[in-house]
Amino acid sequence: MSAKQLDVRVRTSRAPHRGLDKTALIFAALGDETRLRLVARLSADGPMSIARLTKNASVTRQAVTKHLQVLAEVGLACSSRLGRESVWELEPKPLDAARQCLDGISAQWDAALGRLKKFVEH
């Protein structure tokens, strides 16, 4: 079955303020517990329908759809039609970029703390 990509409309009003680049928008999109949980779920279990995503969840179908759309706006997730259902999946690339930035800063902390260790232990 061929999957048709859903047209994702970027709402410009969502952009927090000028000067924030794409990575910042990704971090902003991830700065919400429900959305982080959705990302974790899609990452662990792979593509799934809204129905499956909301099964046993405390949030409504509409709320989950909205959250998924926010993730789609920054390119973190995308959906395709499978019969009558929308199936959502993660777009791995933006996550990699965001992680890479943090990894760099994280490595610098490791280095700085290595120097601190040397400094206080000698």
Partner 1 sequence: MSSDRIEKRILLRAPRARVWQALADVQAFGAWFGVKLNGSFAPGARLRGQITHKGYEQVSFGITTERMEPERLFSWRWHPHAIDPKTDYSAEPTTLVVFELEEVAEGTLLTVVESGFEGIPLARRLEAYRGNEQGWTAQMKAIEGYVGQAA
Q: Residue from 5, 21, 44, 58 that binds partner 1 (CB under 8 A)?
A: 21
| Rounded Cα gap, residues 8 and 75, in angstroms | 9
| Smallest distance from partner 1 to CB 5, Å | 25
| Smallest distance from partner 1 to CB 78, Å | 19
Residues 42-71 that bind partner 1 (CB under 8 A): none
Among the residues of the chain, which ranges form H helices? 22-30, 33-45, 50-54, 61-73, 92-121
Dihedral of alpha carbons 30, 33, 34, 36, sign: positive
Residue type, 22: K
Q: Residue from 6, 28, 57, 82 that binds partner 1 (CB under 8 A)?
A: 28
For position 83 contacting partner 1 by CB under 8 A, the verdict is no
The footprint of partner 1 (CB under 8 A) covers 16, 19-24, 26-28, 30-31, 36, 97-102, 104-121
